[in-house]
A = this chain, B = another copy of it.
Amino acid sequence: MLDPKQLETLSAVAETGGFDKAAKKLFLTQSAISQRIRQLEEQLGQPVLTRTIPAEPTEAGRQLLQYFRQISLMENHLMNTLLPSGPRQEFTTLAIAVNADSLATWFLPAVRPVLDSQPVLLDIMVDDQDYTHELMRAGHVVGCVSTRPQPIQGGDSLFLGHMRYLCVATRDFARRYFPDGVTESGLAAAPTILYSRKDDVHREFLLHTVSYHGGFPYLTVPTPQGFVEITRQGLAYSLLPELMLDDDIAAGRLIDLFPQQHLDIPLYWHHWRVESELSQALADAMARHCQEHLRQ
């Protein structure tokens, strides 16, 4: 049987990146930390942490962490059922992964009712919506918002809806670069915004909507709010989630460059198949909110 104390120690080292910091976190000595990790490794016959700075879990370590997160969730649920909460509540921490655009728009309002009514703390990681499920598979998180429909082995997935993106610019920007509508020469000259240098969404949008294969100048700005601000300032055109647009289009601040076309990204909530009221409450809250706020 695995010793939960050893797993907790592994989790603390993986979380803080160091034996010294884990010791501080758990109010233990550093040698107690080393001893527990050594015992765990002896039991398994292989290392669970790399001896790098920061220390990282090995593949075996990752699987242990995933298991530990799952049993923590189950135990916490059990304890919350057995011990009605007093004035000093014990919080459950849920590690989840979300794409940046969801975090900037619907995610926090969607989970707020759960955070309001239950003693839960979220540990949110942000990654590309095509990669969040890797964080879940690796055991870093217990749930994720992802574009992937297929459940991960041992998990369930729930369709939330589509995030719709519109390709927009200020009127002045459109007049300058696209005076006669969107043309190839306009696309080759007009700066847009990518989330990172490796972001292919804009290129694919142009390919699918207007079969444009050429290059285009771009800024890279790694925050959704930066996209909005730069686009509103008239410095670039960009694909923005309609949820971030307020009344920009109705008020004439921004115009839709491709009024007949848009990009719909499907989003799914993935979570481990664990008997947990909390996990269920989160999924329900998201489904309810997205039913109203995402495109179905």
Contact = CB atoms under 8 A, between A and B. Distances in A.
Interface of A: 15-17, 25, 88-89, 91, 100, 103-104, 108, 112, 115-116, 121-126, 189, 191, 197-198, 215, 217-223, 225-226, 229-230, 233, 235
15 contacts: A17-B198, A25-B215, A103-B226, A108-B226, A115-B233, A121-B218, A121-B219, A122-B219, A122-B220, A122-B221, A123-B197, A123-B220, A125-B222, A126-B222, A223-B223
A76 B100 CA distance: 34
Contact of A124 (B104, B198, B221): B221
A124 B233 contact: no
Contacts of A122: 219-221
Given A108-B229, A235-B116, A100 B223 contact: yes
Contacts of A25: 215
Contacts of A189: 88-89
Contacts of A218: 121
Nearest to A100: B223
Contacts of A233: 108, 112, 115-116
Contacts of A124: 219-222, 226
Contacts of A121: 191, 217-219
Contact of A91 (B123, B191, B198, B225): B191
Contacts of A217: 91, 121
Given A15-B197, A108-B226, A122-B219, 20 more contacts: A16-B198, A17-B198, A88-B189, A91-B217, A100-B223, A103-B221, A104-B223, A108-B229, A108-B230, A112-B235, A115-B233, A116-B233, A122-B220, A122-B221, A123-B219, A124-B219, A124-B220, A124-B221, A124-B226, A225-B225
